[in-house]
């Protein structure tokens, strides 16, 4: 996150480790932003100022094993992350929030909404894997990328710089990606990486338990999915949600197209806050 805008890092100690987070505070609608796997809460560095400028309280959290959270945990599943999200809301005294999940954590926000509906005002999926049938393409991509990542962290850098951002990343994003690649070389990070790669990021059927308002946002050129809009349609149908496609964006629209992403989120946030 831009150092001139980023709140100070705070920490929440749990039984299994320590979570890093930040909080803009304020009286606006609380919005909890969760990054994808192998990423950090700074994934939202360009989106946070746009949401706070609109009057929202924005909370971002590093996932288990990454960012400034502690590395060694016994579980990296979407369900475990859902427990972390609720623990953080409890810690901050937030009764209800809008939860935003990117990629892997789309499943996490669905799990929170299904298990604790009284705590969730709405959910947003950003290029999430949820409801993606485990076809040959998805299995091959997940197995191949995961296996390569464990042996060669440079594979993650290649994915981020050559595939994840259609048209190529900006110099600022490329520098951010270099930090993510370097993080994979930290002692103990391989275990965390393995935990995420083997986690069920695309559960089928969890959406049936969700009753809150939902929004599906998808980059039209997301390389992780053979047909991004078809997956977005499937997710929207499962969640009875609105769908917004970000034209030309890849797997990280909040970084590649923050203004368009904010334009998708802000009307939804205004509605659930009303």
Residue 43 sits in a domain of what CATH number?
A: 3.40.50.1820
Q: Which pLDDT band, with edges at 50, 70 and 90, does 28 fall under? A: confident
CB 75 within 8 A of CB 194: no
Which range is least confidently modeled, 105-109, 204-208, 241-245?
Answer: 204-208
Q: Does residue 106 sit within a domain?
A: yes
Tell me the per-residue pLDDT of 78-94, one tens digit each, with 9 for 90 and over: 999 999 999 999 999 99
CB 60 within 8 A of CB 46: no
Q: Of 35, 43, 49, whose CA–CA distance to 4 is shortest?
A: 49
Q: Does residue 80 sit within a domain?
A: yes
Residues 6+ apart with CB under 8 A from 94: 30, 32, 59
Other beta carbons within 10 angstroms of residue 24's beta carbon come to 19
Which range is least confidently modeled, 51-55, 170-174, 194-198?
Answer: 194-198
Q: Does residue 158 sit within a domain?
A: no
Q: Does residue 192 sit within a domain?
A: no
Q: Does residue 2 sit within a domain?
A: no
Q: Does residue 78 sit within a domain?
A: yes
Look up residue 160 and give its two tokens.
Answer: 């981020």
Please tell me the predicted confidence (pLDDT) of residue 137: 46
Please tell me the predicted confidence (pLDDT) of residue 204: 79
Single pTM value for the model: 0.93
Mean pLDDT of 155-163: 93
Q: Does residue 159 sit within a domain?
A: no
Please tell me the predicted confidence (pLDDT) of residue 195: 87
Q: What is the dihedral of CA 84, 105, 139, 221, to 10 degrees?
A: -170
Residue 35 belongs to what domain range?
A: 10-133+202-273
Please tell me the predicted confidence (pLDDT) of residue 15: 94
Q: How many domains does the chain have?
A: 1
pLDDT, the chain, mean: 91
More confident residue, 102 or 142: 102
Please tell me the predicted confidence (pLDDT) of residue 232: 97
Q: Does residue 260 sit within a domain?
A: yes
Q: Are strands 10-14 and 30-34 parallel, antiparallel or unpaired?
A: unpaired
Mean pLDDT of 137-145: 55
CA distances from 2 to 34, 116, 177 (A): 17, 33, 15
SS3 readout for 158-206: HHHHHHCCCCCCCHHHHHHHHHHHHHCCCCCHHHHHHHHHCCCCCCCCH
Q: If you average pLDDT over each of 125-139, 171-185, 192-206, which comes out highest?
A: 171-185
Which range is least confidently modeled, 107-121, 144-158, 238-252?
Answer: 144-158
Other beta carbons within 10 angstroms of residue 206's beta carbon come to 22
Please tell me the predicted confidence (pLDDT) of residue 169: 97
Mean pLDDT of 107-128: 97
Please tell me the predicted confidence (pLDDT) of residue 26: 84
Look up residue 267 and give its two tokens.
Answer: 């009307």
In percent, the amount of the chain with pLDDT more than 90 equals 77
């Amino acid at each position: 996150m831009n150092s001139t805008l980023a709140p100070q890092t705070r920490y929440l100690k749990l039984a299994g480790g320590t979570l890093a987070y930040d909080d803009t505070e304020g009286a606006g609608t609380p919005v909890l932003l969760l990054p994808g796997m192998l990423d950090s809460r700074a994934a939202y560095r360009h989106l946070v100022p746009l949401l706070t400028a609109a009057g929202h309280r924005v909370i971002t959290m590093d996932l288990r094993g990454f960012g400034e959270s502690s590395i060694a945990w016994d579980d990296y599943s979407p369900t475990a992350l859902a427990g972390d999200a609720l623990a953080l809301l409890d810690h901050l005294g937030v009764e209800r929030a809008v939860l935003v999940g990117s990629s892997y954590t789309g499943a996490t926000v669905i799990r929170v909404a299904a298990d604790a509906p009284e705590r969730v005002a709405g959910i947003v999926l950003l290029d999430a894997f949820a409801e993606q049938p485990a076809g040959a393409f998805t299995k091959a991509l997940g197995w191949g990328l995961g296996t390569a990542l464990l042996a060669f962290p440079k594979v993650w850098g290649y994915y981020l710089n050559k595939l994840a951002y259609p048209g190529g990343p900006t110099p600022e994003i490329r520098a951010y990606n270099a930090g993510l690649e370097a993080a994979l070389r930290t002692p103990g990070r391989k275990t965390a990486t393995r935990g995420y790669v083997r986690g069920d990021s695309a559960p089928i059927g969890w959406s049936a338990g969700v009753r809150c308002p939902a929004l599906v946002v998808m980059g039209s050129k997301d390389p992780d999915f053979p047909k991004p809009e078809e997956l977005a349609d499937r997710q929207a149908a499962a969640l009875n949600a609105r769908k917004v496609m970000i034209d030309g964006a890849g797997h990280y629209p909040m970084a590649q197209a923050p203004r368009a992403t904010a334009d998708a989120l802000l009307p939804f946030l205004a509605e659930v806050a009303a």
